[in-house]
Amino acid sequence: MSNINFTYLPGDGIGPEVGAAALSVLQAVADKFGHTLETEHHLVGGAAIDAVGTPLPDDTYASCKKTGAILLGAVGGPKWDHLEGADRPELGSLLPLRKNLNLYANIRPAKVHPALIDRAPLKRERLEGVDFVVVRELTGGIYFGEKGRDEQGAYDICRYSEMEVERIAIKAFDLAMSRKKKVTSVDKQNVLQTSRLWRETVIRVAKDYPEVELEHLLVDAMTMHMLTHGQSFDVILTENMFGDILTDEASVLCGSMGVIPSASTSDGRTGMYEPIHGSAPDIAGQGKANPIAMILSASWMLRLSFGLEAEAAAIEASVDAALYGAHLTGDLGGKLSTSEVGKFISEHIKG
């Protein structure tokens, strides 16, 4: 029996709704497998700004650092768009958490579920068999570089060190060894010095993985190839901004952003787990939000931060049952509410 102690950050918009569904699923797992669930609830993002005036309160960060396992709903919304810089919900909470907890590796899967092929806008032959993972460097690059404005305009500096590229490349190659043994490194080396360093470093790391096939693609070409022959990819390795864009594009293959989880990890078992979708304030409080991405993020937390493989697999099997049985929210053609989808998955886990 394990004590599953983690920090839960419901966030803004639909975050509390999809989070409640995920918590019900985690409780079902704990009951079935004989674990205790110890959840530390804290404010983050816009909700924290409204309550205490800062997007990342000290007690929230202290809990995240202590537990090392964070389940996050979503942050931000138009209510706080007038704020600037670190006062904004996203910049003032997500980026500091990633940087201070050294969450340098973002892992996002793109696996097309057979039950959702007809929900995607692409032809079936473009989708069948698509199963790849994007490994995105998360704490370097243009998002964390020096920013500012002067009399000549504005600037955002993109900088990478060899060490930053090396460690994310190792993550990607290690992952490829457990999959189809292929890494596609995405850069813009024909234009950018950071991309030239990126490619040189990835090639050097690849020498330690002779079983893994390495290919390079420019990011503009990747945006086309991902949609036209996604079946050819296994592990896609890229830098921060490119990864941000490509993973959102990959959601088109899967039929909905509402089914894609993500994990932001460090060395060891520290990790933050969240759906790739935003806070969707236009549907908040209406029971329309799809909780599957949040529920799958919870399964990743069990697997990566707690080493509970069987428990994670139980959640994923129950999500499959919901998808095949059309026990879904309206975005996937179903008729259930957010909480009803969570209830179905929880009951399926209990058997």
SS3 content of the chain, % helix, strand, coil (to 5): 50, 20, 30
* Whole-Å CA distances, 134 to 60, 114, 318, 331: 29, 20, 24, 24
Which residue in this structure is represented by tokens 């994990």? Answer: 263
Both tokens of 271, joined, read 């990790």
Q: Is 147 a catalytic residue?
A: no
Q: Residue type at 217?
A: L
Query: H-type helices in 186-291, by residue range?
Result: 193-206, 219-228, 240-254
| Catalytic annotation, pick one of 8, 61, 104, 143 | 143
Count of alpha carbons within 13 Å of 322, Cβ hemisphere only? 34
| Catalytic annotation, pick one of 156, 174, 220, 267 | 220
* Whole-Å CA distances, 15 to 65, 71, 203: 21, 11, 40
Q: Is 220 a catalytic residue?
A: yes
| Catalytic annotation, pick one of 131, 248, 320, 331 | 248
Both tokens of 301, joined, read 């937390």
Q: Is 160 a catalytic residue?
A: no
Q: Is 244 a catalytic residue?
A: yes
Which run of H or E residues covers position 9?
A: strand 3-11
| Catalytic annotation, pick one of 12, 187, 234, 244 | 244
Determine phi and psi for 2, rounding to 5 degrees.
-115, 155
Task: Compute the distance between CA of residue 271 and CA of residue 80 in angstroms, rounded to an integer.
Answer: 27
Residues with catalytic function: 143, 188, 220, 244, 248
